[in-house]
Homo-oligomer: A and B are copies of this chain.
């Protein structure tokens, strides 16, 4: 495949450019009998939608998803599910300036060299616009995982520039435009973003996703380990430059006696592994962190080259996120849902017969 399909058994294939007619996708492999409606998917689409706060781009995307097939009388039929979101907002002229200019830190130059031409309007296919379909598809997976296995997925902002989030309260996350789970940090974030906007600059962020009530046994060694597929999924989100499972890079300085999560009949005594052992889910919470670079779409002028390889200057005018990382929260949740869903189907495909005589211990003691 040329890269627009995600998953092996529960697959999502997407299409669409930032300023084309529409974006859409196809879910293939969804189990039949799942009650699903457009409103189920709209919830996360609205969370992802820009312009929900003054800290994200003012661009208005309606992001109204339509289910075109695969659902009959309110239930999935087991056939492929067609998803469509029309692009209502196509101010192409906004982007005419960058037609012949390669924005630094963007995909303009690489798309041009790879394909020999590109849809320059708003970044075309390389725009984060495309992630709306991932969120919609992830919504289907989320609902199945919740209804059939009680698996819940929570994403949140864990750091924005210098501001680290210490306490995690999922009930707080969706009450503020930062997806910040720590009430005490809201004012600092507010202030930081205001200053940033004045500077016309942008900042990076760290986002985390956790899945609870995970079953044991998901993940296909050797190459399609659960953690490997999670890394693939998260690094595939626009602007992500790093992925960690559990303690991630902190393990570099940990000793074996300190790192290993002790198992007791009452459960695991810690979760430094982040819920994966040997590439297979352990039943502990799945913990994934990711680093998102600051967007290069800023009003601070910069040097760059044009389509002829000549030197020129670039300034991104108008709408942009000072921190694209914030919007990545629902996208990361969706990708995690897609990975877990895919591995759930793959695992039961091969191992439906299995009856382990070893009792399952709780994720936490």
Chain B residue contacts of A349, Cβ below 8 A: 9, 29, 345-346, 348-350
Q: How far is the CA of A68 from the CA of B21 in the complex (A)?
A: 6
Indicate whether A242 sits within 8 Å of B235 (C-beta atoms), given known contacts A5-B223, A68-B21, A263-B304: no
Could you tell me if B249 and A242 are in contact, using CB atoms closer than 8 angstroms? yes
Could you tell me if B256 and A295 are in contact, using CB atoms closer than 8 angstroms? yes
- Quick check: is A132 within 8 A (CB to CB) of the other chain? no
Indicate whether A350 sits within 8 Å of B361 (C-beta atoms), given known contacts A9-B2, A82-B16, A311-B264: no
Could you tell me if A2 and B309 are in contact, using CB atoms closer than 8 angstroms? no
Stretch from A39-47, A178-186, A199-207 that touches the partner: A199-207
Could you tell me if A201 and B260 are in contact, using CB atoms closer than 8 angstroms? no
Distance to closest chain B CB from A94 (angstroms): 16
Q: How far is the CA of A356 from the CA of B293 in the complex (A)?
A: 28
Chain B residue contacts of A125, Cβ below 8 A: 69, 77, 79-80, 221-222
Which of B79, B256, B356 meets A113, CB within 8 Å? B356
Chain B residue contacts of A359, Cβ below 8 A: 308-309
Distance to closest chain B CB from A340 (angstroms): 14
Q: Beta-carbon contacts of A237-276 to B below 8 Å, as 1s and 0s?
A: 0100111111111111111111111111100000011100
Q: Beta-carbon contacts of A140-164 to B below 8 Å, as 1s and 0s?
A: 0000000010000000000101100
Which of B66, B230, B263, B291 meets A102, CB within 8 Å? B263
Could you tell me if B354 and A263 are in contact, using CB atoms closer than 8 angstroms? no
Chain B's closest residue to A116 (CB) is B354
Could you tell me if B307 and A358 are in contact, using CB atoms closer than 8 angstroms? yes
Distance to closest chain B CB from A233 (angstroms): 8
Could you tell me if A280 and B15 are in contact, using CB atoms closer than 8 angstroms? no
Chain B residue contacts of A358, Cβ below 8 A: 109, 112-113, 307-309
Q: Beta-carbon contacts of A307-332 to B below 8 Å, as 1s and 0s?
A: 11111000000000000010000000
10 A-B contacts (beta carbon < 8 Å) = A1-B9, A3-B219, A15-B69, A113-B280, A114-B217, A203-B253, A242-B242, A256-B296, A257-B298, A307-B357
Which of B124, B236, B260 meets A105, CB within 8 Å? B260
Indicate whether A14 sits within 8 Å of B231 (C-beta atoms), given known contacts A28-B1, A291-B252: no
- Quick check: is A52 within 8 A (CB to CB) of the other chain? no
Q: How far is the CA of A225 from the CA of B300 in the complex (A)?
A: 28
